[in-house]
Amino acid sequence: MPAALLALAISAFGIGTTEFVIMGLLPEVAGDFGVSIPSAGLLISGYALGVVIGAPLLTAVASRVPRKTVLVGLMVLFIAGNLISAVAPAYGLLMTGRIVAALSHGAFFGVGSVVAASLVAPAKQASAIAMMFTGLTVANVLGVPAGTALGQALGWRSTFWAVSVLGVIGLVGILTLVPAQATTESKGLRSELAVFRNPQVWLALAMTALGFAGVFASFTYIAPMMTEVAGFSAGAVTWLLVLFGGGLFVGNILGGKAADRNLMPSLYVILAALAAVLIVFVFTAHAQLPAAITIAVFGAAGFATVAPLQARVMQKAEGAPALASAANIAAFNLGNAAGAWLGGAAIEHGLGYTAPNWIGAALAAAGLAVAVLSGLLDRKQSVTVTEEALTR
């Protein structure tokens, strides 16, 4: 794999760390600004909203700008957002910093996926995308625990200073390692928006939203599920999350390799496996060792979807892969929010802490159904093209 992918992965590591590390620092932030924990939790929602808005908007605005230049600008925006967060004297400015950093998130992964794919042969494109997303998985395994520990030891602001430094390292890497010839200029915004007339693009986005809604319906409530149902101590949750992160790392690599071999069959198998694992989790959550094993497998199945889903949207968005890819990142975040809300609603209605696993399984199964429909449309289109060729 080209060295340029390392620069993209480092940048992804910084972005992933700043997205999730705030979860472990909510008590410190709430105490510093004198707000409630739920109010501090809105910093997570604000970030997600920034991703959903920024992903298609910034990608569209930069549709005529060379992609390397876009990546550089997005990393500058990311660094600025984290610096604002680090020095924020009030809660409102911290929220502003979070949203500014989030604006770069979706567009970076959208444009970065296209650049990563352009650096390798067609047969390795999904693996190249997975390599970039490895930075995101490593952020969950190392960046978030390390950032949380740093913030608890030296104050939460120190974490944002550290993430800003990561952003600078990623920026330098992009400037020095990503070749200019790997970027191309768009034909214009109107041309790029035209790809959304293709039903297959919308089906690909629906697969993403449903698949990741399934992941986050369960993952959002993993801590109370493990402490209240499996009987783990609160301190053990950190190690369980590291185990989950290890699964993410392995699943991301395997998903990319599988997608390079055969994209749609890989998606069928992975989404089916995700639904099956979540059903199994309903029962294994009641015992510690089976629960821990299932968490690792769940992480692998959940993140094995990322590279294939991103590759599918790029495959169907010919002529505007960057914009559609960024829209797919927005779909990931919409899925995250919807899954968390549905899982929480199940708990609030007294269905228990394992109920989110049933919700997640149903959502993953819905994603599989959409994938099968998309595959059938592919087959129908292929038959039509063949018949037209024979007629001629």
Question: Which residue matches tokens 């959002």?
Answer: 220
Q: Are 174 and 190 contained in the same domain?
A: no
Same domain flag for 175 and 232 = no
Tokens 């690909």 found at: 204
Helix (H) or strand (E) holding 140: none
Are residues 59 and 175 both part of a single domain?
yes
For residues 332 and 355, what is the distance between their CA atoms, to the nearest angstrom?
A: 22
Please count the structural domains in the chain.
Answer: 2
Residues 6+ apart with CB under 8 A from 276: 361
**C-alpha separations of 160 from 25, 108, 147 in Å:** 11, 19, 8
CA 383/CA 392 separation, integer angstroms: 14
* Domain containing residue 367: 186-392
- Same domain assignment for residues 264 and 280: yes
Q: How far apart are CA 129 and CA 133, in angstroms?
A: 6
Boundary (domain end) residue, out of 147, 163, 185:
185
Tokens matching residue 284: 């294994």
**For every one of its 392 residues, what pLDDT tens digit does the chain have, with 9 covering 90 and above?**
678 889 999 999 999 899 878 877 777 888 899 988 667 777 877 887 888 888 778 877 777 788 889 899 999 999 999 999 999 999 999 999 999 999 888 889 888 888 888 888 877 877 888 788 788 778 877 887 788 888 888 999 999 999 999 999 999 999 999 887 544 445 556 666 777 788 898 999 999 999 989 998 888 788 788 888 999 887 787 788 788 888 888 888 888 888 888 889 999 999 999 999 999 999 999 999 999 999 999 999 998 988 888 888 878 877 677 777 778 888 888 887 788 888 888 888 888 889 999 999 999 999 999 999 999 988 887 766 565 555 66
Closest CA to 270 of 312, 316, 311, 302: 302
Please state, in angstroms and rounded to a whole number, the distance separating the CA atoms of residues 321 and 310: 10
Same domain, 166 and 209: no
Same domain, 117 and 225: no
CATH number for the domain harbouring residue 312: 1.20.1250.20
Q: Tokens 């950032």 — which residue?
A: 147
DSSP 35-60: --HHHHHHHHHHHHHHHHHHHHHHHH
- For residue 392, count other CB atoms closer than 10 A to its CB: 5
> Which residue, among 3, 2, 4, 13, has the nearest Cα to 167 in the 3D structure?
13
Query: Which H helix or E strand runs over 273?
Result: helix 263-284
Given a contact cutoff of 8 angstroms between Cβ atoms, the answer to whether 301 and 248 are in contact is: no
12 C-beta neighbours (distance < 10 Å), count: 26
pLDDT of residue 192: 67
Q: Which of 135, 170, 185 is the last residue of a domain?
A: 185
* Whole-angstrom distance, CA of residue 76 vs CA of residue 53: 18
Q: Are residues 192 and 233 in the same domain?
A: yes
Shared domain for 166 and 210, answered yes or no, is no
DSSP letter at 198? S
Query: CA-CA distance, 343 to 374, in Å (whole number)?
Result: 27
pTM tops 0.85, yes or no: no
d(CA 278, CA 359): 9
Q: Tokens for 149, please give them.
A: 């520990």
- From 159, 185, 211, the end of a domain falls on 185
Q: What is the CA radius of gyration of the chain?
A: 20
Phi, psi angle pair for 63, to nearest 5°: -65, -25
Distance between first and last Cα of the chain:
43
- Kindly state the helix (H) or strand (E) to which residue 279 belongs, with its residue range: helix 263-284
User: Is the same domain home to 263 and 139?
Assistant: no
Specify whether 159 is located in the same domain as 170: yes
173 and 281 assigned to the same domain: no
Q: Are 219 and 359 in a shared domain?
A: yes
